[in-house]
Structure 1
């Protein structure tokens, strides 16, 4: 059997299984927005979206923002967006609890709708900018009647697309959906949402026939005969933006598909775009308060963290080097450099160094400055970019990086859990605690393995190696193939001027 034939057979079996299932109704509370926005680039757009909703449109709709773990949304990013009325939802534990095969942002949209805490949800792509408060959508008569509203794309599904027959649907030319916005009453459409998730779980097969998640909703609703309302007006469009409309034909959602907001870059001006000033103000605020990276500081000890709190509370410092004028720098919360931020000093943290501490200022991928605190409480050390020069920070100090990671929370937890001595073996409680740390901090298993290599007692070394194997970090996301490998199956729609 060819790969194409095997994929077709899997899709047929999936369709039969979806039709045979009887899922329980969904629950939820209130109305709200659902946004999928993991990673620095998409988070930037989500911040602009929520900021302008709150400040320009005065919208009070609560927001859920879904993402894949702390590698996509750091503590600093959370601190920026949560005060705007956003509830952050890490998808990883929800996926683990349900056993779902969700690995990609396109797939996550349907999963987020299915597992949202809202009874009624409007999903918006992060690169959207509504023209008016989208809360009004929930009161549209078309939505009240059907419980679901979808918007059209500028293309149609062709009648000869193989997906129709494989899913047991009558082949026809159909308006393709644009899933940058979807309005669903989850209580009425739980079965269709579950079907959409099942179709997206089969992305490796189904995305060969349709473009990503966009038409999984059309197909899921039609497979189950679920009602929905389709906005009859095609979007206004150019090469950078789709402008979706309401049922009266008025512009409503400005979807910047090819003109996303760029952190630290020049923003593309679009003809007729509304709320540009509010969006640019949000960008300026974001760039002032954030480094632009989803950064989490390395593991470090409680003592090092206490020194960090002292530095945060102290406010501003002066950083001096031998080859440039002194300047003011602020060491902020969540490892973010505030005033004085530059390409080689975006983030910072404190590590143990012998009996003292070292202060590390880093760029996106490597230390830029390493300083050690002296008895006079001035940090002295070196800048690591060429030319390498001596530097000092008024109040504390630094040293060259040591070859091995400094002791941190992992070491302290191992010691408290008896891994270096005491009864044979280690408790499941210690394994579980280390697993939680591994979910939010990098290098936990590697640190345990390093400590095992330093042991002179082979029993303890073996115990640590066994423990490193038992600690289970979050599984890496495997890439979803988004390439249409069969015939494209779409045709451009005929849109009247």
Structure 2
């Protein structure tokens, strides 16, 4: 009965593992999980270099969706960049007939497919200012087996997301009612540029996250209600009533001082639990989406 139920809930799981228990038993150690296709290649190269300068020892797994997503030449380039790095096709680990991966959805499934017991998901354009392994020692992570980061406070009076969550999860923990999105202060709650999960203790939460990022669920519900994968992490944990923690500070900014001396323009910055700059998201350029790009001047920062 359990196996039949699991195959209905998580049909993507059984390409290489008979049950979630055998998958869970295979996890070992700590490491970094990254995802990239050809469009993210220019970011991922410098991101890997930055990780290795600060943390030379922990292994890295880079996932893609096949040679059409990340060319073989670029796969080989990454393999030769540094020690202890694997470049892997996620469709060889999980069944893409059910996942139908594309865009943001690969992130959660890469966390699931990675070989690490304690896994840190890192966006291709996320850069650390301290040894990222320090996040495995964060008090919130140690207490709950998970660590999420708040997004910037933007776009108030958004009600469709919280209303949908309440309709789907009538009994929740005490945390959602404390969130900015539930108070009508901000549309975005979580920033998924860095996510830390202990998969031995919080696999059920991760499976729920993956469920929300599967093709049918994301097209019909989650990606219509949320901006991509962001909120699926904490909402997935709420779905299965597993504990989770957010870093205590909101998203800040690092970059250049504006004419107003109390304003900084730049990339989104995140602090550690001691209030010190830990990492930022958005790459090295002032605007990564501009045709003519200029490097951001990282002189000033403000907490969120």
1:203 aligned onto 2:218: yes
Contact 2:94 2:113 in 1 (8 A): no
Contact 2:271 2:279 in 1 (8 A): yes
Name 1:423's counterpart in structure 2.
none
Say if 1:46 and 1:496 are closer, same or farther in 2 by CA, change over 3 A. closer
Q: How does 1:320-359 map to 2 (within 5 A)?
A: none
Name 2:179's counterpart in structure 1.
174
Q: How does 1:406-421 map to 2 (within 5 A)?
A: none
Q: 2:108 aligns with which of 103, 110, 120?
A: 110
- Deviation, structure 1 residue 94: 2.8
Q: Which has the higher contact order (CA 8 A, sep 6+)?
A: 2
Contact 2:33 2:63 in 1 (8 A): yes
CA RMSD of aligned residues (A): 3.1
Say if 1:78 and 1:210 are closer, same or farther in 2 by CA, change over 3 A. same
Contact 2:266 2:296 in 1 (8 A): no
Name 2:58's counterpart in structure 1.
61
Say if 1:247 and 1:58 are closer, same or farther in 2 by CA, change over 3 A. closer
Contact 1:114 1:193 in 2 (8 A): yes
Name 1:75's counterpart in structure 2.
72
- Deviation, structure 1 residue 267: 3.8
Name 1:242's counterpart in structure 2.
268
Say if 1:94 and 1:185 are closer, same or farther in 2 by CA, change over 3 A. same
The secondary structure found in structure 1 opposite 2:153 is strand
Contact 2:34 2:124 in 1 (8 A): yes
Name 1:270's counterpart in structure 2.
297
- Deviation, structure 1 residue 168: 2.1
- Deviation, structure 1 residue 196: 0.5
Say if 1:132 and 1:89 are closer, same or farther in 2 by CA, change over 3 A. same
Q: 1-side partners of 2:69 and 2:160: how far apart? A: 39
CA deviation vs aligned residue, 1:417-448 (integer Å, no higher than 9, x gap): xxxxxxxxxxxxxxxxxxxxxxxxxxxxxxxx
The secondary structure found in structure 1 opposite 2:165 is helix
Q: 2-side partners of 1:160 and 1:261: how far apart? A: 30
- Deviation, structure 1 residue 66: 0.8
Q: 1-side partners of 2:287 and 2:297: how far apart? A: 11
TM-score, length basis structure 2: 0.75
CA deviation vs aligned residue, 1:442-486 (integer Å, no higher than 9, x gap): xxxxxxxxxxxxxxxxxxxxxxxxxxxxxxxxxxxxxxxxxxxxx
Contact 1:64 1:88 in 2 (8 A): yes
Q: 1-side partners of 2:165 and 2:288: how far apart? A: 37
TM-score, length basis structure 1: 0.47
Unaligned runs of 5+ in 1: 1-16, 275-494
The secondary structure found in structure 1 opposite 2:152 is strand
Name 1:89's counterpart in structure 2.
88
Say if 1:174 and 1:152 are closer, same or farther in 2 by CA, change over 3 A. same
Name 1:285's counterpart in structure 2.
none
Contact 2:150 2:190 in 1 (8 A): yes
Say if 1:224 and 1:77 are closer, same or farther in 2 by CA, change over 3 A. same
Q: 1:187 aligns with which of 200, 204, 207?
A: 200
Q: 1-side partners of 2:272 and 2:250: how far apart? A: 10
Say if 1:265 and 1:29 are closer, same or farther in 2 by CA, change over 3 A. farther
Say if 1:104 and 1:185 are closer, same or farther in 2 by CA, change over 3 A. same
Name 1:125's counterpart in structure 2.
123
Q: 1-side partners of 2:87 and 2:303: how far apart? A: 41
Q: How does 1:333-482 map to 2 (within 5 A)?
A: none
The secondary structure found in structure 2 opposite 1:247 is coil
- Deviation, structure 1 residue 58: 4.6
Say if 1:113 and 1:267 are closer, same or farther in 2 by CA, change over 3 A. same
Name 2:242's counterpart in structure 1.
226
Q: How does 1:19-58 map to 2 (within 5 A)?
A: 24=21, 26-27=24-25, 28-39=27-38, 41-54=39-52, 56-58=53-55
CA deviation vs aligned residue, 1:150-173 (integer Å, no higher than 9, x gap): 000113895553321332235846
Q: 2:149 aligns with which of 148, 151, 161?
A: 151
Q: 2-side partners of 1:192 and 1:99: how far apart? A: 22
- Deviation, structure 1 residue 256: 1.4
- Deviation, structure 1 residue 273: 7.4
- Deviation, structure 1 residue 135: 1.2
Contact 1:121 1:185 in 2 (8 A): yes
Name 2:15's counterpart in structure 1.
none
Say if 1:219 and 1:50 are closer, same or farther in 2 by CA, change over 3 A. same
